[in-house]
């Protein structure tokens, strides 16, 4: 993202989280499963890293708290090698590191939390594209706001048409299904009067109990 005098980087994924996920796949995969391989698949909204071999004890990781899982290395020699190359910080910290690094990304919220799945034969890490979800969320909010504006404008027009003959405030509220008097006054009645689309039948007594409102005809402007 470019600003006037500086640039703010908004990466789709945390680089360290991707590294941890790949290292985890290489260290914990089941190399006995011949013909199997690690898959890295990138989609518009997510990055998936899948490796052969499920959890070492066979229990699905999606049913467990990753903060309490005891690390058991399926391939201790490979794990030791990656530790010596500084690709591993400490035993059992990989999955929590993936989450903590992702949480540091600009625009992150809990809906973008990395997900982990396992079966007896495979393990999968799903990293969500935080920029994709941010843009999608913004678009949804904008669409929602536009829908509210459209609905509001439609009710304004309904009121003006309804007041082709003088109507009381109570009748107008009932016409568009609004019960709260003050909300109706601020959101609909006052703006319509200010815009000159409605006028009072007793303008010199605005608070008269006999007050009614009528649509302003084009001839009234001439």
Q: Are residues 57 and 155 in the same domain?
A: no
What tens digit of pLDDT does each residue of 94-134 get?
Answer: 888 899 999 998 888 888 899 999 888 889 999 999 888 76
Is 135 a member of any domain?
no
pLDDT at 8: 57
Number of domains within the chain: 2
Q: Are residues 21 and 118 in the same domain?
A: yes
Q: Are residues 124 and 36 in the same domain?
A: yes
Q: How many residues comprise the chain?
A: 222
pLDDT at 179: 84
Looking at residue 217, which CATH number applies to its domain? 1.10.10.10
Q: Are residues 158 and 105 in the same domain?
A: no
SS3 45: coil
Q: Are residues 19 and 73 in the same domain?
A: yes
Is 2 a member of any domain?
no
pLDDT at 174: 92
pLDDT at 172: 94
Q: pTM surpassing 0.75?
A: no
Is 62 a member of any domain?
yes
Is 8 a member of any domain?
no
pLDDT at 222: 43
Vertex 56: Cα angle to 55 and 59 (nearest 5): 50
Q: Are residues 122 and 150 in the same domain?
A: no
Which residue range forms the structural domain that includes residue 116?
15-128
Q: Are residues 99 and 45 in the same domain?
A: yes
Q: Are residues 76 and 177 in the same domain?
A: no
Looking at residue 110, which CATH number applies to its domain? 3.30.565.60
pLDDT at 57: 78
Residue ranges of the chain whose pLDDT lies below 70:
1-9, 89-93, 134-149, 218-222
Rounded Cα distance between 8 and 70, Å, is 38
- Domain boundary, last residue among 68, 103, 128: 128
Q: What is the dihedral of CA 173, 175, 178, 181, to 10 degrees?
A: 0
């Amino acid at each position: 993202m470019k600003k006037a005098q500086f640039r703010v980087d908004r990466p789709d994924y945390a680089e360290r989280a991707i590294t941890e996920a790949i290292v985890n796949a290489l260290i914990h995969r089941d190399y006995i499963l011949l013909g199997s391989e690690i898959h890295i698949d990138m989609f518009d909204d997510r990055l998936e890293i899948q490796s052969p071999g499920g959890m070492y004890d066979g229990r699905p990781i999606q049913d467990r708290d990753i903060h309490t899982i005891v690390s058991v290395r399926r391939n201790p020699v490979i794990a030791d090698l990656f530790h010596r190359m500084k690709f591993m910080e400490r035993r059992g910290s990989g999955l929590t590191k993936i989450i903590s690094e992702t949480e540091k990304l600009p625009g992150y919220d809990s809906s973008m939390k990395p997900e982990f799945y396992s079966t007896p034969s495979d393990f999968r890490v799903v990293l969500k594209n935080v920029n994709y979800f941010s843009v999608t969320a913004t678009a949804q909010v904008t669409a929602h706001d536009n829908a509210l504006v459209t609905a509001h404008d439609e009710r304004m027009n309904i009121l003006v048409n309804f007041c082709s003959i003088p109507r009381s405030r109570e009748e107008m509220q009932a016409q568009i299904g609004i019960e709260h008097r003050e909300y109706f006054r601020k959101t609909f009645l006052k703006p319509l009067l200010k815009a000159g689309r409605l006028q009072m039948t007793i303008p010199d007594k605005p608070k008269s109990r006999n007050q009614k409102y009528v649509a302003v005809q084009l001839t009234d402007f001439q």
